[in-house]
Chain A
Amino acid sequence: MTASAFGPILTAGITGGQQAFPFLTALVLVPAGAAVLVMLLPRSATWAIRAAGMAATLAVLGIAAAVLDQFQAGFGGYQMVSEHPWIAPLGISWTLGVDGISLFLVLMSAVLFPVALAGATARENPKSFTAWVLFLEAACLGSFLSIDVLLFFLFFEATLVPVYFLIAGWGHERRGYAATKFFLYTFAASAFMLVGIVSLVFIHQGQTGVTTFDIRELASTHLSGTADIVLFLSFTAAFAVKAPVFPFHTWSPDAYGESPAAGSVLLAGVMAKLGTYGIIRFDLGLFPHAVVVLAPLLLTLGVVGIIYGGIVAAVQHDLKRLVAYSSLAHLGFIVVGLFALTGESLSGAVLQMVNHGIYTAALFLLIAMIYRRRGTFAIPKLKGLQSSAPVLAAVFTVVMLASIGVPGLNGFVGEFLILSGTFLTHRWWAVAATGGVVVAAAYFLWAYQRVFHGKAEPVTGEAPFAEMTWREALVLAPLVVLIVALGVYPQPVLERITPSVDALVLHVEQAAHPRIPLAGQPVSGTLAARTSTAYSSSVTLQLGTGGERVPATRATGRETKGART
């Protein structure tokens, strides 16, 4: 891994040219086509509908696995780019590509959709349900894969419609309120992003004479200070609401809480990542200067989200809302990692997006299993489940520990990378964020204690709490395997993420550097630290093996300090 491999990759770098098989286009079109197919099936053919849904999502998983296989590790640019003109007069093209940042988000989505369908499908009207889930998968994968900004926006917005119908049709008591609130919040926030996109394109057109929405071209746009900040804010508003970042989170506990189980799994697991993915791909890629200027603000919001989410989660009486607030805290970690702008923290943030998707999905599935047996999410009404369902309790424990960030499970790796990367550039934010880990342990363990420990008080006429069925175990198995595997041996994942992240860090440094130093801030020293960290950490991660990864990273921190002094 040498510096040359990082290259100015955002603006160039297509390997392999047009692929023989358009894997990425297939990733979007297979679920979309399957959704249309499901709509054409007669409603009474429940079995065929479910089979078609599973087959399509598994086919997507297969294609995603093929993409992973084709993916060249060690190269940071977009790969397998498939480029077709779409609306030529407006400069909009169907351009899909994958890099280290989006690769694992695509894979994570491809895993979560079949799991959600298998583990939490709707009993009522499965036809519409399956069709909406498949549409959602197409839209989510399209968002992760788009290189064309407008195409991204289209997919990004298109996710709202299926989720709206999933919540409104199959949600709990206050579904109408939750669905509408969700749609309006996110729709309103992204309305301004559209104006931002168009403005950026015209500024770029004024400079180059080319009308294009291709992010690789747009990344080289020169923006004046004000335009940079305003455009950054217009994009970030959309992403901050989607993620959600404190204080734009108020829709999320309602939406997560009132969703059907599959809706919560996909909302928290996949859709939340659209927001953080948008930040890393578009904010960092297009507005590096504004990112550097406004990083302290976003870092603060991230840290507040961690602490606030943790505290509010601790006092929830509803298990689903508890996980919703814990999600807010975890996304706060990701935001902190993104805006700390070191290679390490960014790699950690990307990894954490994947990790969070996996364990949150598992948590929501487990809660749905409890709900199916007891008909409630209320913690005070649940007690002593462990004695009658020890396996379920054990799985819950593993997932919960991953969520808390216990070493050896996947949550730890991402959180640790984020914190150690952040510590180098933004020490006090990292310190405050670490407090969030303690809070997370507190509220999760407390909730666990109340729900699983103690002696079950039998209610007359209620069946005893049933143990996890084989079917349920089968649904959760892949997630638990991933939780452990990514916790023990994240190396193959990191070595594919790191080149892209390093290229991005370099892009931010190069773009931001000429305008720095800002008045009264010793920024240059920080910058040096950032860059060197970006390199050395990636080198260390490349060399280290899975088991030794943690000490290796610590060594990186020391090396960097040594290099500076």
Chain B
Amino acid sequence: MTGSTAILASMAAHLLAAGGIAMPRIDYTAILPELILLGGMLVLVLVSSLSPRPLPTEAYATATVGIGIASLVASLVLWRDVSDHGPFTAVARAVNVDGFGVLFLVLVSCILVVAPLLAAGHLRREGVGGCEYYVLALISGSGAMFMATANDLVLIFLALEILSIPLYILAGFDHLRESSGEAAMKYFVLGAFSSAIFVYGIALTYGATGSTNLAQIAAFLARNVVTSDGVLLGGLALLLVGFAFKVAAVPFHMWTPDVYQGSPTPATGFMASMAKAGGFAALLRVFVTTFPTLRGTWQPAIWVIAVLTLVLGAVVALVQSDVKRMLAYSSINHAGFVLLGLQAATARGVAGSVFYLFTYSFLVLGSFAVVSAVGGKGDERHGLERYRGLGRRQPALAVTFAVLLLAQAGAPFTTGFFAKFYVVEAAVSAHSYALAAVAMGTAAVAAFFYLRLVFLMFSDVGRTIPTHEGAATGGTPTDTLEMPSAGGVATLVAAPVAALVEVAEPDPAIVAVSPWVAAGLVLCVATTLVFGVWPQPLVDFAHQATLII
């Protein structure tokens, strides 16, 4: 990271030569959600170091959810402000509060509400208590938020590091397990490498355009025709590489399967949703608003990357026998779908990408939470065979996973369908017919490996299990999907959670699901199904994703 130091030093020298550093006026309301996350993080650290005895992990999870809700409220207030009074820039034009950025603030807040719930069970089971997991998640979230609203390449870089460094640590959080440390190391080395490339891209762009401010770069490019554009294009290419690494687009995806497989499972889900949200937010903003004049140059590149990402993700996932690795490749395929919106480079495309990220975040968080539960103590039993008969042993958990998987496959009346529909629509409206067709083709391929898992879970629900197996599964079939027949609305809400909860039994086939995880899963499934049948609010919301310069 010497590159970053150099560029900051040079900028400082520049400013000093111009007569001292003028501190900009800081509009704290514009960065309130970020401040809430960071402030909350500090409170967590303080509480944990001052409390006489260690608090249970659920206490920290609850606190994190509270912080997430607070930042969600702050984000929604900002959103209201933007939709009433229009977008604005703050903090010396380095922060850009527009519909697009605010949507990502909301998304990151939502992730921070759901993710702690889903992680709590895992952390208790593995005996890694303490506030660190949540603190790192909050820091990472603030980085993603800064990335989404940053209006300056330098700020984007700083935010990228704030987002990434906690993720490196989260990858290695399960320090007792060797593969976790290996994942962290891989992620860190490759991540640092890509950050360096990204910084070099910033430097070249600065050299070509004379600014790191996105608006000024765009204005410069609009006014001037760069005749010898080698430096500019080089900078653009390096920026793209840096982003592509973060969002795991092919051919910069090499780290993904290993890191996803090695990381503690809830951290994988968090990483997949948070890094993609932050990475795509900045990628979309930089390419669509800053370099629209070079669209003819970067669109074909994105086209190629999108096709590679879509195809490789879907095809390689087919041959995986480890569920975490399979989901890692499927997340690569999903990244390809989000790239469809970028390739279209239209308002519709941006809205489509935002919509996709929204729905995908819940799906991937929930999916990895189920995988974490099924993986059992030690977090290592992730083979496909582990899922055989889950539909009989724990119907509620299996149904949850099936909904999340089918939604990822794009089944109708789930958010997954509308996400795919939205980006494909954007691609077609931008006349990228071939790309849309390729994307849908890979969706069909991807359906295969989701279905394989679903089949393993449910293949024996219509069968009488032979007695020797019946003995092995003890008190099964557990009738946990049943709802109490009497009861009002409260029961309707509580019953699915109750149905999912499973205390650890002596029987090894039954996996424990803590009430926290169950609550998180119910949230994920509810958003998937409710917005799948009634997507209007989410579509309206994504429509607000307007970018300004």
CB atoms of A184 and B461 under 8 A apart: no
Stretch of B211-219, B295-303, B532-540 lying at the A interface: B532-540
CB atoms of B413 and A176 under 8 A apart: no
A194 at interface (Cβ–Cβ under 8 A)? yes
Inside 8 A of B454's CB, which chain A residues have their CB? Answer: 164, 168
CB atoms of B458 and A168 under 8 A apart: yes
Interfacial residues of chain B within 508-549, with CB under 8 A of chain A in the complex: 535-536, 539-540, 543
Stretch of A2-10, A85-93, A95-103, A405-413 lying at the B interface: A85-93
CB atoms of A191 and B444 under 8 A apart: yes
Inside 8 A of A171's CB, which chain B residues have their CB? Answer: 462
B39 at interface (Cβ–Cβ under 8 A)? no
CB atoms of B444 and A169 under 8 A apart: no
B192 at interface (Cβ–Cβ under 8 A)? no
- A89 to B461 CA separation, bound complex (whole angstroms): 41
A158 at interface (Cβ–Cβ under 8 A)? yes
- The number of chain B residues with a CB under 8 A from chain A is 44
Stretch of B95-103, B165-173, B481-489 lying at the A interface: B481-489
B479 at interface (Cβ–Cβ under 8 A)? yes
Q: How far is the CB of A52 from chain B (nearest CB, A)?
A: 13
Inside 8 A of B455's CB, which chain A residues have their CB? Answer: 168, 176, 179-180
Inside 8 A of A129's CB, which chain B residues have their CB? Answer: 462
CB atoms of B444 and A158 under 8 A apart: no
Residue of B nearest to A86 (CB): B536
Interfacial residues of chain B within 465-484, with CB under 8 A of chain A in the complex: 479, 481-483
| Complex interface bits, B424-450 against A, C-beta within 8 A gives 1, otherwise 0 | 110011000100110011011101100
Inside 8 A of B451's CB, which chain A residues have their CB? Answer: 164, 179-180, 183-184
CB atoms of B425 and A198 under 8 A apart: yes
CB atoms of B539 and A90 under 8 A apart: yes
B387 at interface (Cβ–Cβ under 8 A)? no
Q: How far is the CB of A34 from chain B (nearest CB, A)?
A: 16
Partner of B543, one of A89, A155, A187: A89
Inside 8 A of A44's CB, which chain B residues have their CB? Answer: 479
Q: How far is the CB of A352 from chain B (nearest CB, A)?
A: 29
CB atoms of B459 and A169 under 8 A apart: yes
A466 at interface (Cβ–Cβ under 8 A)? no
| Complex interface bits, A57-96 against B, C-beta within 8 A gives 1, otherwise 0 | 0000000000000000000000000000011111000000
- A179 to B103 CA separation, bound complex (whole angstroms): 40
A170 at interface (Cβ–Cβ under 8 A)? yes
Known: A42-B482, A124-B464, A176-B455. A157 touches B447 (CB 8 A): no
B421 at interface (Cβ–Cβ under 8 A)? yes
Inside 8 A of A160's CB, which chain B residues have their CB? Answer: 411
Partner of A191, one of B440, B485, B540: B440
B230 at interface (Cβ–Cβ under 8 A)? no
CB atoms of A128 and B461 under 8 A apart: yes
A381 at interface (Cβ–Cβ under 8 A)? no
- A122 to B462 CA separation, bound complex (whole angstroms): 8
A477 at interface (Cβ–Cβ under 8 A)? no
Partner of A165, one of B436, B448, B458, B460: B458
CB atoms of A154 and B417 under 8 A apart: yes
Inside 8 A of A199's CB, which chain B residues have their CB? Answer: 428, 433
- A42 to B499 CA separation, bound complex (whole angstroms): 12
Known: A154-B412, A194-B424. A184 touches B447 (CB 8 A): yes
CB atoms of B536 and A88 under 8 A apart: yes
B406 at interface (Cβ–Cβ under 8 A)? yes
CB atoms of B413 and A154 under 8 A apart: yes
Partner of B424, one of A42, A161, A195: A195
Inside 8 A of A41's CB, which chain B residues have their CB? Answer: 485
CB atoms of B440 and A155 under 8 A apart: no
A526 at interface (Cβ–Cβ under 8 A)? no
Partner of B406, one of A88, A89, A161, A176: A161
B14 at interface (Cβ–Cβ under 8 A)? no
Residue of B nearest to A126 (CB): B462
- A482 to B418 CA separation, bound complex (whole angstroms): 41
Residue of B nearest to A122 (CB): B462
- A175 to B464 CA separation, bound complex (whole angstroms): 15
Inside 8 A of B377's CB, which chain A residues have their CB? Answer: none
- A188 to B445 CA separation, bound complex (whole angstroms): 8
B452 at interface (Cβ–Cβ under 8 A)? yes
Q: How far is the CB of B344 from chain A (nearest CB, A)?
A: 12
Inside 8 A of B463's CB, which chain A residues have their CB? Answer: 124
CB atoms of B483 and A40 under 8 A apart: yes
Inside 8 A of B482's CB, which chain A residues have their CB? Answer: 42-43
Q: How far is the CB of B61 from chain A (nearest CB, A)?
A: 30
CB atoms of A157 and B412 under 8 A apart: yes
CB atoms of A192 and B437 under 8 A apart: yes
A125 at interface (Cβ–Cβ under 8 A)? yes
Inside 8 A of B483's CB, which chain A residues have their CB? Answer: 40, 42
- A129 to B462 CA separation, bound complex (whole angstroms): 8
Q: Which residues of B contact A (CB under 8 A)?
A: 406, 411-413, 417-418, 420-422, 424-425, 428-429, 433, 436-437, 440-441, 443-445, 447-448, 451-452, 454-455, 458-464, 479, 481-483, 485, 535-536, 539-540, 543
Listed from nearest, the 6 A-B pairs whose CB atoms lie closest are A170-B462, A188-B444, A191-B440, A169-B462, A154-B412, A157-B412
